[in-house]
Amino acid sequence: MDIHIMAVLLEESPDDIDKEAANIFQEYGVGGTTHGAKGVLFLIDPAGKQVRIEIGYDLEPIFTDGVTGYIERRQMTPFFLKKGRQGWMMDFASMNRLVGFNHKNQWHLKQRNHNYMFGFKEVYFDKNGFPHKK
């Protein structure tokens, strides 16, 4: 599956992060190079301590509002942000080590004993690492 993923780190907080995400998604044509509207934008505003995920139309059945909201609230803020020499950045190395997808694009944890487990109080994980509501 071809998916265009873009991460943008804002230097200044926007008045409305939802509008800003939609504008950036449109302006840069996120997902436009795929076979369909398969784009994912991670918008990070460290100064305002807020994040937003914008999803292309063809990925909405997979990345529903509930899933993206959960990722925004519980997994991106602040778990995968780290301070680097050039300011705040996404810790994609940790994300890649911890989060995987199966052939149906369902996410699961590759390992369960890591520093971010405190962010998963509302779910439990089966033996294969897939989340389920408690």
Read off the pLDDT of each residue in 62-74 and give the average, rounded to a whole number.
82
CATH label of the domain that carries residue 24:
3.10.310
Beta strands 4-9 and 39-45 are parallel
Evaluate the omega torsion of the peptide bond into residue 131 and state whether it is cis, within 30 degrees of 0: no
DSSP 8-state assignment for residue 116 = T
Q: Report percent pLDDT > 70 for the chain.
A: 66
* Structural domain boundaries, residue 106: 4-133
For the stretch 80-134, pLDDT in tens is 556 667 666 666 666 666 677 776 667 677 766 665 565 566 777 777 777 777 7
Q: How many structural domains are present in the chain?
A: 1
d(CA 27, CA 62): 23
pLDDT for the residue 36: 82
Q: Between 18 and 132, where is the model more confident?
A: 18
